[in-house]
Structure 1
Amino acid sequence: MPALEILWPVLILAFILVGIHAIFGLEIIRRGVIFTDLAVGQIAAVGIAVSSAFFEGKYQIPLSLGFALSCALLIAYASQNSRHIEAFIGLLYALGASSVMIVLSAGSEGDELFKRLMANDILFVMNDEILKAAGVYGIITLLYYVAYPRLNGFLKELFFFSLLSVMVTTSVPLAGVLVVFTLLIAPALVALLQYRFKPLLFGWIYGWIFVTLALVLSYHYDWPTGYSIVFVGTLITLTSVLWLEKRYQKNRKI
């Protein structure tokens, strides 16, 4: 079977994921709450683990969304009342990760599910799942650009983190927590460090490039797809960040 026939649905999904996550990634980095999506994603994963361990996989969406929205409420409150918000968010992530392991420890398939929750093999995502996700992301994007700017105070914080929670809850079953984090932070970080192009447009193009490279390498060398995206994305981004920062320091001395 030709590589393009296998990879094109995955490419479409990956491009959609980069598109929505870059939007929120820019806002998260500007806010200085970089680990928010990791925490929300990990708490959402608790809902998926509970569904698998106690309900035979049923009620996955309401459980994961309920856990994620609860996390969003805590983060929205802490963002206005805590002097050390990143530490608070980091502890939420640790709580989520440990909860997933405890919930899954009783089942025989716990280790395999945990691996999928961290970085799922998106090669096996069905076309109808891609369409459903695209619909959800479209609604989230519309609300982000139309409703979010009109809000203020705690309500605005809660609305932002609730949108983020819905996005992450949609993304984690498709791609996994680590892939979501990589797509959220890597394109946005490099986009904000360069000054020649508009950050969002640059973030999209940058993310699409490294995701395409990761998928080609994954197919050619039979690497796990999700972890390939994380590996390629983080490696290229770390290298790019060091180069851009060095260039910035050099320009400052001139």
Structure 2
Amino acid sequence: MQLIELLWPAFVLVVLLVFIHVIFGLEIIKRGVIFTDLAIGQIAAIGMAISVGFMEGDYQTLMTLGFALLGAVLITYATRRVEHIEAFIGMLYALGASSIMILLASSPQGAELFQKLSATDILFTSETEVYQSALLYACIALVMFIFYPKTTGLVRELTFFSMLALTVTSSVQLAGVLVVFVLLVAPSFIALSQKRFTPLYLAWTSGLILSVVALVVSYYFDLPTGYSIIFFQSIAVVVFSLFAGKR
């Protein structure tokens, strides 16, 4: 009973994270811009680093959202102007990562803060964070399932990247940049590498199962939860690609 009381907020958060990130992950892989989410997440983390490192955590959500939207606008513009878009996105990620290191270089807790930005221990997620995330992700899902399919051209691009930025703003604070990247890519990669099952449902199922296993293992063996999720999702992709995936 005590275990359920301790883990249920983290479990529900994992369900929510997998649910919302798969929606974007399938589209990102189809577009061939795999590092889009990682770049936006890293740019968003600049805002979080400024808030935590220099403002004692004040305006964290606002700063994170602002930088995430900036990253989304830059990528939206670049997709229409830059020939080698993946290289541009990679450089945007490098810019974000280096900016965070420079910002936190003089902070006594710089290394700890950088590790937190990469992967957070979601075992200690609060009930309030779960409820807020559920409401936010429900609204984003409605936009992506109802409004987004009806859009075209620039409106379609802005809708996609702005909703991705809003999602990343929340999930980076809750789980960290690398966890966000893995949840966006790994389940969708597995789902799109086969033709037997509906990609959306398979991505949700595989992503949830692997994340819950990681959650339980990290609890019983006292391992960092965020990195456990990254490990299980990543090893699943590697194994699936080598033994089950087909070109």
User: Does 2:136 match 1:136?
Assistant: yes
- Measure, in 2, the Cα distance between the counterparts of 1:195 and 1:201: 12
Shift of 1:7: 1.8
Residue type matched to 1:38 in 2? L
Shift of 1:106: 1.6
**Residues 88-107 of structure 1: pairs in structure 2 closer than 5 A:** 88-107=88-107
Bigger shift: residues 38-47 or 102-111: 102-111
Residue type matched to 2:164 in 1? L
- Measure, in 2, the Cα distance between the counterparts of 1:14 and 1:235: 18
Q: Which residue matches 1:118?
A: 118
Shift of 1:4: 3.0
**Residues 28-107 of structure 1: pairs in structure 2 closer than 5 A:** 28-107=28-107
- Measure, in 2, the Cα distance between the counterparts of 1:195 and 1:140: 27
- Measure, in 2, the Cα distance between the counterparts of 1:223 and 1:13: 18
User: Does 2:205 match 1:205?
Assistant: yes
- Measure, in 2, the Cα distance between the counterparts of 1:211 and 1:124: 16
Residue type matched to 2:238 in 1? L
Residue type matched to 2:59 in 1? Y
Shift of 1:170: 0.5
- Measure, in 2, the Cα distance between the counterparts of 1:165 and 1:18: 16
Q: Which residue matches 2:221?
A: 221
Shift of 1:153: 1.3
**Residues 148-167 of structure 1: pairs in structure 2 closer than 5 A:** 148-167=148-167
User: Does 2:235 match 1:235?
Assistant: yes
- Measure, in 2, the Cα distance between the counterparts of 1:52 and 1:5: 29
CA RMSD of aligned residues (A): 1.2
**Residues 235-254 of structure 1: pairs in structure 2 closer than 5 A:** 235-245=235-245, 248=246
TM-score using structure 2 length: 0.97
Q: Which residue matches 1:108?
A: 108
DSSP-derived class of the 2:58 partner:
coil
Shift of 1:240: 0.8
DSSP-derived class of the 1:147 partner:
helix
Residue type matched to 1:217 in 2? V
- Measure, in 2, the Cα distance between the counterparts of 1:54 and 1:213: 37
Residue type matched to 1:117 in 2? L
Number of aligned residue pairs: give it.
247
Bigger shift: residues 3-12 or 88-97: 3-12
Any conservation in 2 of the 1:77–1:154 contact (CA below 8 Å)? no
TM-score using structure 1 length: 0.94
User: Does 2:175 match 1:175?
Assistant: yes
Identity of aligned residues (%): 53
Q: Which residue matches 1:252?
A: none
Residue type matched to 1:144 in 2? M
DSSP-derived class of the 2:244 partner:
helix
DSSP-derived class of the 2:93 partner:
helix
Residue type matched to 2:207 in 1? G
